[in-house]
Amino acid sequence: MSTAVTESPTAAPAAPAASSPAATRGHVEITDVRKTFGATEVLKGVSLTVPPGGVAVIVGPSGSGKSTLLRTINHLEKVDGGYITIDGELVGYRLRHNKLHELREKDILKQRTDIGMVFQNFNLFPHLTALENVIEAPIVAQGRPKEEARKRALELLDRVGLKDRASAYPRQLSGGQQQRVAIARALALNPKILLFDEPTSALDPELVNEVLDVIRELATSGTTLIIVTHEMGFARDVADTVVFMDEGQIIEQGGPQNIFTNPREPRTRSFFSKVIEPAFNI
């Protein structure tokens, strides 16, 4: 199962895990996950391994189950079959007396503090300033002292280049700035894993890069990143592993050089031929 991801370290621009010295946590193991909405099966048995500090980029046509898969990793979406572990710990369930018991809300919330998530529509809290957005979760979910949370939040806002906008409300910020605040908010919990759900899809083209640059910087920091995106150039730069999904299944995965230049599956080839060629031939 886990061989699939690490099979092509030679093709990857940087060998995952090994290149990041701090990467000892954030091992994601997704095993045969199934999910049904009504009559449609959106995930038909998906298995994926992302090693600590690894960067997995999930691509594929819309409706292929990419976002749903991402949302199962922090239990925003309950799985109907299969299971997910993070550093060996089951997500959303606990094994007791040979049965998987769903965790209580409190324990699920605690698990989620290890998993940051960045949304397509930012979902910043509009009635709170940038700084208040970032310090909220560390204070109430992790019980950090307010002054410490504030100090750390200002560091993070500085890291995403927005230290001087700490007291601005989200509506006073551009889309790109809002998304960078959202990234700082996710980082404030010091998560093992960061999930990005199409982080640039709601942005004007000229604002995409300021967000991608921040994510690029995170890719070398040792945090495990799982990114759903349509930015193929970015995927090629930043990914250790590119995962191609279609119709609720992983069709193919591998290092970016391999998968973009020499895809094995016809479906992968036809998808990339539609998406990549215009972008690469500029």
Partner 1 sequence: MSSAATTVAQSAPSTAGRPASTGAADSTPESTETGTGTEAPAVDYSGYKLVPAKHPGRWVGTVLVALGVAAVLWSLATNPRWEWGVVAQWFTAQSVVNGLIETLKLTAISGALGFILGFVLALMRLSASPLLVGVSWTFSWIFRSTPLLVQLLLWYNLGYLYEKVSLGIPFTDVRFFEVQTTTLISQFAAAVLGLTLNQAAYSAEIIRGGILSVDQGQLEAAAALGIPAWRRSTRIVLPQAMRAILPTAFNEIIGLVKGTSIVYVLAYSELFYTVQVIYNRTQQVLPLLLVATLWYVVITSVLSVFQYYIERHYSKGAVRNLPLTPLQKVRRFFATHAPADRKTLR
Give the footprint of partner 1 on this chain (CB under 8 A): 74, 76, 105-106, 109-113, 115-117, 119, 121, 123-129, 136-137, 140-142, 169-172, 185-186, 189
Q: How far is the CB of 126 from partner 1 (least distance, A)?
A: 5
Question: CB-wise, 31 or 123, nearer to partner 1?
Answer: 123
Give kind and range of the element (H or E) at residue 87.
Answer: none
Q: How distant, in Å, are the alpha carbons of 26, 90, 202, 241 from that of 274?
A: 33, 38, 21, 20
Question: CB-wise, 11 or 103, nearer to partner 1?
Answer: 103
Question: CB-wise, 29 or 77, nearer to partner 1?
Answer: 77
Q: How far is the CB of 45 from partner 1 (least distance, A)?
A: 25
E strands of the chain, at which residues?
28-37, 40-50, 55-59, 81-86, 89-90, 93-96, 99-102, 115-118, 193-197, 224-228, 241-246, 249-254
- Residue 97: both structure tokens together: 């007396």
Q: Dmax over Cα atoms in the chain, in whole Å?
A: 59
Q: How far is the CB of 112 from partner 1 (least distance, A)?
A: 4
Q: How far is the CB of 70 from partner 1 (least distance, A)?
A: 11
Question: CB-wise, 89 or 265, nearer to partner 1?
Answer: 89
Question: CB-wise, 116 or 222, nearer to partner 1?
Answer: 116
Sequence-ordered list of residues with C-beta below 8 angstroms from that of 258, at least 6 positions apart, any chain: 8, 11
Count of CB atoms situated within 10 Å of the CB of 83 = 17
Q: How far is the CB of 204 from partner 1 (least distance, A)?
A: 18
Q: How far is the CB of 29 from partner 1 (least distance, A)?
A: 20
| Alpha carbons 251 and 4: distance in angstroms, whole number | 11
Q: Residue holding tokens 């495990």? A: 224
Question: CB-wise, 197 or 240, nearer to partner 1?
Answer: 197
Number of helices (H), then strands (E), in the chain: 10, 12
